[in-house]
Each structure stands twice: as C-alpha cells, then as structure tokens.
Amino acid sequence: MPHLFLIVGLPGAGKTTRAAALAVTHRALRLTPDEWMIALYDGVQPDGKRDLLEGRLIMVALQALHIGTNVVLDFGLWGRDERSALRWLAASVGASCTVVYLPVDEDVQRTRVAHRQATAPHTTFPMSDTDLITWRAQFQPPDTTELNESSPVPGPPPGWSSWPQWAAGRWPSLPPLGLPPLGRSDP
C-alpha cells in the first residue's frame, strides 16, 4: 500500500530536512512548494500562486499514490482542515497516511530562520519576526487523534458537502474530485 507523509510545522521547524530523510528511507517522491516557488518566481511569492502550485503538486501526489509510489508533502499544513482533506484524498486512492508534526520553540525558530536567511538566502523567502509571530498565531497544531494513523478522518467543515469539494476550494487548481484521469481509457 502506498503511503503519504504530511509534514506539518512552522518555518524553521526542520520540515524539509525531515521530508528529505523520509523520502530516502521510504523511496518516496518529495514535493516541497518553496523549491518550486523560488525556481518559478525568482524568489518572490506572487499573490495566489502558492495555492495554485500546491493544488498541482497535490494532483501529482495523488497520481503517484494511485500508481503505488510513496509521497512526502512538505507543505507545512498549518490547518486541521488541510490535513483532514489530504488524509481523505490519500485514502480515496488506496494510500495510508501519516501526519508528521515538527514543533519548534519560538527562540529556536527565530535562530534557525535567521541562520538560513544569512547562509542560504536562495533557499528561502524573507521572513520578519512579525511574520513569525503572526504565523504562530494562525497555526493549528495536530492533536493526538490526528497523529494516530488509524483514526478516522472527520467530516468536512460546515458548508462543504465533501473533502474533495473543500480541497478544490482551498487549492483552486485541484480538480473537485481530487484525481484527474491518469490517461485515456477509451479505445
């Protein structure tokens, strides 16, 4: 059974390092939006482009899982609904899923972010202390139920009839059913 790893944490938590290690250990495809955003948009984050890119990467992840390839999504995934939608989508293509949470203390986070910006600015986006504080307030850490691989995925939030519908609203480039056809099936 293919496996999806969801890497969860704030900037500076060590997500990409952990994602890379998991990709090697589990022979998995690693998808890291920051690497794509930096390459495609010269180190800037144009409004709305990240959500579009993430939707396309999720589509690739679902296709890879569908054909039996393990996948590591190194997205950060700050919200429970994002994680629940992705857990549901993984199950819909016959994959299991693990939420990998990397907590980080504020002081350690600030030190790591400053070090990365000083030593490898081409691998990251500028982040101020104000950004870090704002993002920490927005972050919803996973609880023990989410971290338990065998726990059921909760239903979608009020106003949404399904997780695929919610996911298509969150990531506009993701088809509403989550997985487009892999190829032509007609003669």
Q: What is the mean pLDDT of residues 13-41?
A: 95
Q: What pLDDT score was predicted for residue 179? A: 57
Instruction: Say if residue 108's pLDDT is above 70.
Output: yes
Instruction: Say if residue 185's pLDDT is above 90.
Output: no
Q: What pLDDT score was predicted for residue 126? A: 82
pLDDT mean across residues, the chain = 91
**Residue 180 to residues 30, 56, 100, 154, 174, Cα–Cα distance (Å):** 20, 11, 27, 24, 9
- The SS3 of residue 136 is helix
Residue spans of the domains in the chain: they are 3-170
Beta strands in the chain (DSSP E): 3-8, 28-31, 70-76, 96-101
Q: Which residues, other chains included, contact 187 with Cβ-Cβ below 8 Å and sequence gap of 6+? A: none
Which pLDDT tens digit goes with each residue over 120-161? 887 888 889 999 999 999 999 999 999 999 999 999 999 999
Q: What pLDDT score was predicted for residue 168? A: 94
The more confident residue out of 39 and 141 is 141
The topology (CATH level 3) of 3-170 is Rossmann fold (3.40.50)
